[in-house]
Amino acid sequence: MSITLWGHGNCAQIPRLTNYAEAKDWYEKVVPIRGRTVELKPLGRKRRFTQYEICKQTVAIQSENREYDIYSCAMFGRDMVKFYPNGEISIHANQWYSITTGAFLNSVLFNMGTIISESGKWYFQNKNNQSFRFKDGMRIRMGDDGMYVPTEIVEDKVFRIDRKRMNAIRKRYSSIIQYGKTMLALDGNVGKLEELELAKHGLSTSRMIPYHSWQSEETRASRDKWFALADKQLQSGDLELLYDLVRCVASVSGRYSYKSNGYVGDSVSFANYMDEMFKYQYRHEVFTEELVPYGESREDRNKKYFAV
């Protein structure tokens, strides 16, 4: 489901500019705020919102011995929408893929299109409801039909799971999965934190799948270690190692119980968590790429597995 990023609305009353001439005209009309060491021209009609600016930058072309001006709408000191004299408009997120960024861009681009999100994946959607994969710094310009379209095609793809390959991975680790489900069905108590942290083989209660991007490196290292030990167990049949492997996953897939002063797991959560681990660890095996037709937007809930 697509979501248009509006935030708290256009509180600053940012003008809805559509071309270079309008941006230039607005820049020349705006009176700078007095008393500032560096000139600051507020973008919105409500001048107290000084985090939004209208700026001018002069660019020199040495080879042609001439220069031209670029007008931009800036937020927190960073250019977000730039207007060029050749009719092109560049859109920037500056790596800030947030509601605040999207709301600002949509306030400026209102008469040209909107920035929409498909489960976190951004698109520029013009007034003809054509959607184009957003790329930081993408350039758009008006076509012959009056609609704004990108000047450069950005390839868009979604990841589809291959059920046969996924089942093959499950089969490879079926003995561990079945052991864990049976163990937790009989007794969900996994153990106390101290016991788990001091478990043999170096396993701990570290998560195996990331909940935030900054966890990627840590969780990947934990997951790699777990799978290396799991492959070793499949070869050796070591039951003590098998028990530790299951307890490790059961603790992160379960919950902490104050009643028992330890971790409690269940077979369903354990099996589901194992599936997530497989998808992260073997993403290049279990997912296939599918190109999205140009001008369309597609939700992709599997992109998270490739963002690490």
Can you read off the two tokens belonging to residue 17? 């500019």
Please classify residue 155 by burial: count the beta carbons closer than 10 Å to its beta carbon, then call 0-12 exposed, 13-18 middle and 19+ buried. Answer: exposed
275: Cβ contacts below 8 Å, ≥ 6 apart:
166, 170
Q: How far apart are CA 66 and CA 61, in angstroms?
A: 5
DSSP 161: E
Least Cα distance to 5 among 138, 107, 130, 141 occurs for 107
Compute φ and ψ for 287, nearest 5 degrees: -115, 145
Q: What is the pLDDT along the chain (308 residues), one digit of tens a residue?
A: 556 666 666 788 899 999 999 999 999 999 998 877 778 999 989 988 989 999 999 887 766 677 889 999 999 999 999 999 999 999 999 888 888 899 999 999 999 999 998 878 899 999 999 999 999 999 999 998 999 999 998 889 999 999 999 999 999 999 999 999 999 999 988 877 666 665 667 776 667 888 776 677 888 888 999 999 999 999 999 998 999 899 889 988 988 888 878 888 899 999 999 999 999 999 999 999 999 998 888 888 888 888 75
71: Cβ contacts below 8 Å, ≥ 6 apart:
20, 23, 24, 26, 27, 54, 55, 56, 57, 82, 83
Can you read off the two tokens belonging to residue 92? 């920037």
Residue 133: how many other CB atoms lie within 10 Å:
21
Q: How far apart are CA 162 and CA 167, in angstroms?
A: 9
Residue for token pair 């039951």: 239
254: Cβ contacts below 8 Å, ≥ 6 apart:
188, 190, 263, 264, 265, 266, 269, 270
Compute φ and ψ for 41, nearest 5 degrees: -110, 110
